[in-house]
Amino acid sequence: MNKVAIVTGAGSGLGQSTAVRLAEEGVNIVAVDVDQEGGQNTVEMVEKLGQEALFIKADVSKPEEVKKYVDQTVEHFGTIDYFFNNAGISGNGNYFLDNSVEDIEKVVGINLLGALYGVRYVADVMVKNGKGAIVNTASSAGVIGQDSVVTYSATKHGIVGLTKSIVAEYGKDGLRANAIAPGPTETPMVKDFFDANPEMKENAEKGIPQRRLGTPEEVAELVTFLLTSKAEYVNGEVIRIDGGFTNTK
């Protein structure tokens, strides 16, 4: 029987690339996103690879919508084997004191609370099943400090703590959870951020020893490895995929 993966933020970028890569490994996909068009595109891409796919529209900052996508996955497929807890936003690129409380709450709601809610409901299913693998999306800003992304950085540091602590509590119950920490990557979210802050793209590329941004496909390869049985003894880790960017800090 095919494995089942939930991928949040599946309508583009890292989520879409990972959904497709998992489908290539014979995994059925539940694509979760607020963007219905993008999510449906991902479903079509997965189905072309011969795997079953389901799109669920959800705002991850709302716990009732997170519970809904988990419940609908179990109702449709009967289980959850893998979870790529990926949905997130970058924020506006302003320095912290130039952000409103509403700006802060929006980033925290999606990036941190959304991730916490996802693990809360998905891990409940996995622990009852006695097995399951989660990959949370942190960031290079989750392992070092970076200016102009203070709130984003705080949420991604929180993702690191979530990953390590959920393993400390439930690793004994068959749960695996790891985090990835991508550096600047060629996704629509990063492109929009750099378009609004063009000087930051040049600074980012100069700060990466490989002198280029990462690609969603490269990140998808790592996530697929961490979720599948090839990485059964990797647990509670935060793995950087940033071309050496944070290694120089």
Condensed to tens digits (0 to 9), the pLDDT of residues 135-173 reads 999 999 999 998 889 999 999 999 999 999 999 999 999
pLDDT tens for residues 75-91?
Answer: 999 999 999 999 999 98
**Smallest Cα–Cα separation from 60: which of 83, 26, 92, 93?**
83
pLDDT band of residue 71 (cuts 50, 70, 90) is very high
Structure tokens at 6: 């939930």
Q: What is the pLDDT of residue 247?
A: 86
Distance from the Cα of residue 96 to its chain's centroid:
24
The yes-or-no verdict on residue 211 having pLDDT over 90 is no
Average pLDDT over residues 33-54: 98
The yes-or-no verdict on residue 202 having pLDDT over 80 is no
Rounded Cα gap, residues 73 and 5, in angstroms: 9
Q: What is the pLDDT of residue 225?
A: 98
Q: What is the pLDDT of residue 117?
A: 99
Structure tokens at 62: 């709302």
The yes-or-no verdict on residue 207 having pLDDT over 90 is no
Q: What is the pLDDT of residue 49?
A: 98
Q: What is the pLDDT of residue 212?
A: 87
In percent, the amount of the chain with pLDDT more than 90 equals 83
Q: What is the pLDDT of residue 228?
A: 94
Average pLDDT over residues 173-192: 90
Rounded Cα gap, residues 97 and 82, in angstroms: 38
Q: What is the pLDDT of residue 26?
A: 98
C-alpha distances (whole Å) from 47 to each of 7, 43, 220 are 15, 6, 18
Domain 4-241 classified CATH 3.40.50.720? yes
Q: What is the pLDDT of residue 143?
A: 97
Say which residue the tokens 């700006």 belong to.
103
Rounded Cα gap, residues 234 and 224, in angstroms: 13
In this structure, what is the dihedral angle of CA atoms 244, 107, 79, 48, given to the nearest 10 degrees? -70
| Mean per-residue pLDDT over the chain, rounded | 95
Rounded Cα gap, residues 142 and 181, in angstroms: 7
Rounded Cα gap, residues 1 and 4, in angstroms: 9
Rounded Cα gap, residues 200 and 196, in angstroms: 9
Q: What is the pLDDT of residue 39?
A: 98
> Is 152 a known active-site residue?
yes
pLDDT tens for residues 91-128?
Answer: 888 999 999 999 999 999 999 999 999 999 999 999 99
Rounded Cα gap, residues 170 and 189, in angstroms: 32
Q: What is the pLDDT of residue 106?
A: 98
**Smallest Cα–Cα separation from 30: which of 90, 61, 73?**
73
The yes-or-no verdict on residue 203 having pLDDT over 80 is no
Say which residue the tokens 């049985």 belong to.
229
Of 117, 121, 152, 170, the catalytic one is 152
Average pLDDT over residues 219-226: 98
